[in-house]
Chains A and B, each alone.
Chain A
């Protein structure tokens, strides 16, 4: 049974990978087949992942199939394998479920696309890799899949590679995440060097088990830093790159150049969560230095800064997808805060809830864009409530979930859990206060977006927005239902999810609100949302008469607004601080090449050509004549020699007869003598 189970678990990541592999060999014209293949594979994979989730539903169940030996050199054996615990099972179920509906949505959204099949191939590749990340039982396999996810993301962002901006965005995403990956790789090597294993759990010898952890905590390195802290920081940098934390966040808004389903799948729901997942997975290492150790502190503060920064920037954006992208960055910051302040369960709950409603938001945004004929500027929209009622409904649900509308939306409970976790962090109130501000801003900018897009009157009368087809709407409703229903498992009343992640049984806890500060926090969250939404409504209600009207806040904030609109100048800063020096350096090298190497090469070329001429001349004059002469002579001799080969059988026979005669004569002569 165990082996059987093991095989089925392997199928979860391998089926989409296989589908992607097969699609890679299908011609573009077979796009329909490719899409069916991809969706079918993912559907089976989803069923298996849900089955796997069912297997670990009983509290405290962890299944670790025996790892496979990948290769052995010397006495070192590298093992890779899969791991099924509540963390990975929940993630796998979420990824397959959300991805399945995004796939189905893509059927409609990408219908007119020429490279339809290729798109599904990339999507399948991405899903397989992501599932591998989630289910991996070793840091090494996780890293390999991590890189594969990066590759798929690169391919998908640059899907419209004819568009220079898309190609540039793809490269930017790839290179930026590569910086983080480098740190991840170093951290991994360091961990391996100290513990001798990369498996998370290995019957007591794993990386996350007591033996390795104590050795990691015991060793120190430069500046008195423990190895665990140093490695954690490196892993954190890797996670920052993937999850778009400041300062490595710049690629994420640009990545919106990819098709909207891709944005929904990769840059909202799954891939960006990989960083958070990594930290959650290796949380035992992070927490070795205590709750206020340098690793966790750094995590918390980076999360806090990111959350606030992205929320501020999101306020001043006009592109519907960019707003959502910054919102994603901000929400990832929230998760980081939770991780840094010890709320792993809160972070994971927020991650999953966020995956649902952010995928929902992106897909609805896609629906809006689709309906508005590829228009992405919210200033040119407005009044879509009437034209696209269904999209409006699901968008509203998603928006309220993200903004944290109280009680019925999962976002409210998850955010509340994060705030709860941050509030009681012994390392200070900073992250809590910042998170509260960010939550307020979240409610503000989401309301702004909803108001500008769906309310008021249409600001571009010449466009005729229309509702999207059923194949796009159905996934939206499913995801909306998920965004709402998920709230059930995360309320403080019945904190099932939190206990489950920690491997404990959940109990219905009626007195939860009576615990210290619980009611206060609840009230605070409520107030934050109300204020944010209220302020936004106050500012933006009827504020935008036409698409040319400047934003009301713009005039009030002036320069700061433009600062926000340019994302606080990160891109410009990178341009000046990194790219320009590099370009200058490259220019210098170019100059060097032109001034010195090119002439040198010219000289060498001339020398070689001269040699060649001399050789050729000697060849033609000396060798050819001489060699040809020898050959001709040989041929003439051969001709005359071969004339003795008469081809006549009797001639040969006669020769044989002569030979026999000579032999006989010799024989008698010798025997006589």
Chain B
């Protein structure tokens, strides 16, 4: 309860930064911060493994990938890079707020499950056993997906005239 109370505002603050920051790199770094804080929240909730995986994958890979892409796709014009407040903000809010209202309403009042609080501890042994027995097909499918993505992303990102440089963008 206490870590949640501390972390929740931080997460929201960081996420707001990711949405609001004018410079793309700042926004991306705020995203990395958000993801790291969410990982800490997972750790606090007892899901150690998930938290560390979240940290390794999101902070270590996805966030880095995003900032790296931002560097590669810089328009060159500094002014253009910095994002002024978008004109469509009103429409965006108009769409977002009802969704938020419904979700929050459901979250606060909609849950009628009788919950018994407990202190779970995520056992990676059990998790691993489930992964490779009952969920083995899903793992295999995921493996195929990741292989395809690796090849596909390499092909996509390949410079048409300089085929050797594809790996530098991974």
Contacts and interface: CB of A to CB of B under 8 A. Distances in A.
Report A-B touching, CB under 8 Å: yes
Contacts of B92: 654, 657
Contact of B99 (A650, A660, A668): A660
Contacts of B95: 654, 657-658, 660-661
A8 to B, nearest CB: 61
B134 interface: no
Interface string B69-96: 0000000000000000000100110111
B88 A650 contact: yes
A288 to B, nearest CB: 87
Interface in A631-673: 650, 654, 657-658, 660-661, 664-665, 668
A52 to B, nearest CB: 69
B88 A661 contact: no
Contacts of A668: 102
Contacts of A664: 98-99, 102
A665 B88 contact: no
Interface residues of B, number: 9
Interface string A258-285: 0000000000000000000000000000
Contacts of B91: 654, 657-658
Nearest to A662: B98
Interface in B86-116: 88, 91-92, 94-96, 98-99, 102
Secondary structure call for the A interface: helix
A660 B97 CA distance: 11
Nearest to B96: A657
Nearest to B102: A664
Nearest to B105: A668
A657 B98 CA distance: 9
Contacts of B96: 657
A541 to B, nearest CB: 101
Contacts of A660: 95, 98-99
B88 A657 contact: no
B108 to A, nearest CB: 15
Contacts of A665: 98
Contacts of A654: 88, 91-92, 95
Nearest to A658: B95
A666 to B, nearest CB: 11
Nearest to A651: B88
Contacts of B88: 650, 654
A626 B99 CA distance: 51
A658 B98 CA distance: 9
A292 B91 CA distance: 116
Interface of B: 88, 91-92, 94-96, 98-99, 102
Given A657-B95, A660-B99, A664-B98, 11 more contacts: A654-B88, A654-B91, A654-B95, A657-B94, A658-B94, A660-B95, A661-B94, A661-B95, A661-B98, A661-B99, A665-B98
- Those 8 A-B pairs whose CB atoms lie nearest each other, nearest first: A657-B95, A661-B98, A654-B91, A664-B102, A664-B98, A658-B95, A661-B95, A654-B95
Interface of A: 650, 654, 657-658, 660-661, 664-665, 668
16 contacts: A650-B88, A654-B88, A654-B91, A654-B92, A654-B95, A657-B94, A657-B99, A658-B95, A660-B95, A660-B98, A660-B99, A661-B95, A661-B99, A664-B99, A665-B98, A668-B102
